[in-house]
């Protein structure tokens, strides 16, 4: 892989977000919404060409979750045949073990796994968000999956009461970590790009609601700034 210049979608700098909170709604099976229903979101994006160096050229000392917010980890999975819910569970357990060892963590809990298909969603396609084998689409726009307000809420929702009693104590630290793995030898369309969080101005992060039939969560969308460092 070599350095490239590629187009990234950023949140459009629009005055509407001064009076409207950005949102995106993911309809369920019974909602009866078509994929192109304009009511599903009020978010607009602007595509900007960005220089993206090959992350493999970044020295290890310049990577790391605590240094840049990302890192590349070499790992060969034994559970990539996603043909059943059991396969998903095995992959999640494998990922938990990987993170437990790599981060030297006392405990790791996988919240969910998402399989993605790089193809437009059809207008009459039914999406079952409760099915772990459902093929989602690549999300649009440069974003951060967790906000300072939303992350503690997610932890409270997912953690059992006995684990809260144990880990909500001084000396313990919680981390929310996304792992991403390509399912093809070479990803040529919509590959993952990451941004060094040291290059992000907090004023360029706008919180938005991500709504599904059973819950509402919060994420950040990113406005473009030339000083951002992408890989």
Domain assignment present for residue 229? The answer is no
pLDDT at 27: 78
Helix ranges restricted to H, the chain? 85-102, 150-158, 161-167
Interval 149-168 mean pLDDT: 94
Domain assignment present for residue 175? The answer is yes
pLDDT over 80 (residue 28): no
Contact status, residue 107 vs residue 164, Cβ threshold 8 Å: no
Interval 23-31 mean pLDDT: 79
Domain assignment present for residue 227? The answer is no
Integer Cα distance of 174 and 196 in angstroms: 21
Q: Reduced to 3 states, what is the DSSP secondary structure of residue 51?
A: strand
pLDDT over 80 (residue 16): yes
Q: What are the tens digits of pLDDT across the range 31-66?
A: 777 777 888 999 999 999 999 999 988 887 888 999
pLDDT over 60 (residue 116): yes
Integer Cα distance of 175 and 192 in angstroms: 21
The average confidence (pLDDT) of the chain is 89
Confidence of residue 213 (pLDDT cuts 50, 70, 90): confident
pLDDT at 104: 96
Domain assignment present for residue 230? The answer is no
Q: What percent of the chain has pLDDT over 90?
A: 67
Domain assignment present for residue 231? The answer is no
Determine the structural domain holding residue 117 and report its residue range.
Answer: 4-222
Residue 173 C-alpha from the chain's centroid: 21
pLDDT over 80 (residue 118): no
pLDDT at 122: 60
- Cα separations in angstroms, 202 against 16, 39, 45, 84, 162: 19, 28, 19, 41, 35
**Which of the pair, 197 or 113, is modelled with greater confidence?**
197
Per-residue burial over 114-123, b = 16 or more CB atoms within 10 Å of its CB, e = otherwise: eeeeeeeeee
Confidence of residue 124 (pLDDT cuts 50, 70, 90): low
- Average the pLDDT over each of 14-18, 117-121, 192-196, 218-222 and give the range with the smallest value: 117-121
Overall domain count for the chain:
1
Residue 210 has which token pair?
């991500």
Domain assignment present for residue 164? The answer is yes
Q: What are the tens digits of pLDDT across the range 88-109?
A: 999 999 999 999 999 999 999 9
pLDDT at 196: 97
DSSP string, 197-230: GGG--GGGEEEEEEEETTEEEEEEEE---TT--B
Report yes or no on whether pTM surpasses 0.85: yes
**Angle subtended at Cα 38 by Cα 180 and Cα 154, rounded to the nearest 5 degrees:** 40
pLDDT at 106: 95
Domain assignment present for residue 228? The answer is no
pLDDT over 90 (residue 182): no
Domain assignment present for residue 201? The answer is yes
């Amino acid at each position: 892989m070599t350095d490239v210049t590629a187009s990234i979608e950023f949140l459009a700098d629009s005055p509407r977000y001064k009076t409207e909170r950005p949102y995106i709604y993911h309809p369920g099976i019974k909602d009866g919404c078509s994929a192109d229903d304009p009511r599903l979101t009020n978010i607009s994006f602007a595509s900007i060409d960005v220089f993206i160096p090959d992350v493999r050229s970044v020295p290890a000392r310049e990577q790391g979750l605590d240094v840049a917010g990302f890192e590349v980890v070499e790992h060969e999975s034994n559970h990539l045949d996603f043909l059943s819910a059991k396969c998903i569970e095995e992959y999640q357990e494998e990922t938990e073990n990987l993170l437990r060892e790599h981060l030297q963590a006392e405990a790791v809990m996988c919240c969910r796994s998402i399989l993605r298909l790089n193809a437009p969603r059809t207008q009459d396609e039914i999406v079952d968000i409760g099915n772990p084998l459902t093929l989602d689409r690549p999300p649009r726009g440069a974003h951060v999956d967790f906000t300072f307000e939303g992350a503690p809420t997610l932890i409270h929702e997912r953690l059992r009461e006995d684990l809260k009693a144990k880990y909500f104590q001084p000396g313990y630290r919680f981390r929310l970590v996304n792992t991403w793995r390509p399912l093809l030898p070479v990803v040529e369309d919509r590959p993952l790009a990451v941004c060094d969080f040291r290059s992000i101005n907090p004023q360029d992060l706008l919180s938005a609601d991500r709504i599904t039939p059973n819950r509402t969560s919060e994420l950040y969308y990113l406005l473009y700034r030339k000083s951002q460092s992408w890989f």
